[in-house]
Structure 1
Amino acid sequence: MSEPVWLVWAREIQAIAQTGLTYVQDPFDKERYEMLRNLAAQMMAEGSNVDVQKIENLFSQQSGYATPKLEVRVGVFDAQNRLLMVREVLDSNRWTVPGGWTDVNLTASECAAKEVWEETGYTVQITKLAMALDRARQGHMPPEPFSITKLFFLGEITGGEATTSIETSEVGFFAQENIPQDISTGRITPHEIARLFAHHANPELPTDFD
């Protein structure tokens, strides 16, 4: 599923403006980059029905060279080959696999293990990078204003017990044929779930990418 062209353009314009504002010296060029940033906000507001001021505030908080944001997700399986999933409080308690944004001073795999612990109560050993995907190309809904790279790892349980958190309202294991219908498609898609099962069944598979 491709994203609407207005979103692709607006995201690109915002990235150009953000990077330009990072390095600009001339005050007139600074003003032009700010105009570009506002134009990107107006395009997103028009296409998404989100208040333009909210988007402008979001964009104004971004600084530095514009790069994709990095998200981690983890496929954890039990002895019955069932996938560990959680209900995401922030998405109307829809189901997803544990994960979130990466943190500074931690590697991607350390962030992945940390997310599993915080959201499920289980400690895990990360064993494989299964997928490295551009979110915009995977059919996630709703779309995001920024570029996001999603890293999907596999992990093996080493301890702990099922425990909910402020982010999750339920923790459970599901066989592939019993995956819940109400999944959090902003975080994971049915295809990505299927690929996690495939990588678990055949750990020698190469990493999926793009």
Structure 2
Amino acid sequence: MTLLLVVAIAIAAVPALAEESSNVALAGGTHTQTSALTVNVSYVNAMRLVLATGAGAPNCAITPANNTGPYSIDFGQVNGLGVSPSACVAVSGTNPVVYGTNYKVTPTWTGFLGGGTNGTLTVYVSTVFTNNTFLKMREAANVAGLTTDLSTNSAAPQSIGAGNIVSGTTLNRALGVAVTPDNTVAAGPTADSAVVTYTLTVP
């Protein structure tokens, strides 16, 4: 940032009287000075993508709640029978068993043409589970819609929302883990994780 400070003061010494510049009152009156400050900015466009815990149950907590990420969510213990699930998930199906939870995603952008109504949002699995033969990620508009495995191809991600999305509008969605009954790997229990990547695009 550049600051430009301009102060003009003219003083002429004469017997018994000091005069100031023509735009300044004489001695005994009101004295006025002006300074000019140039304020420089660089206006740029910006985008934000916030993930948060779903408003209603089932709703496993998404952390941190600071609107910046990277985020994480814990589904707790899962198995191929749906036995003793975490309180923050809903369990459905038998083969596979689907553990589902609600969550929210809010895309926001500014400084683009289109009136803030022309964004698109996609999601895919960028890192699969270690035991990916029987553990799969799913994403849908609601828990009941968690019927299809989420894409693992960055070139063919799954779209979120119907058509274009609106800046600042929260989308209520569901995330799921599908567990196919399996007896080739001892459970243990065994910790596992996958990474899901969201992409907001604004032309």
TM-score, normalised via structure 2 length? 0.21
TM-score, normalised via structure 1 length? 0.20
Larger Rg: 2
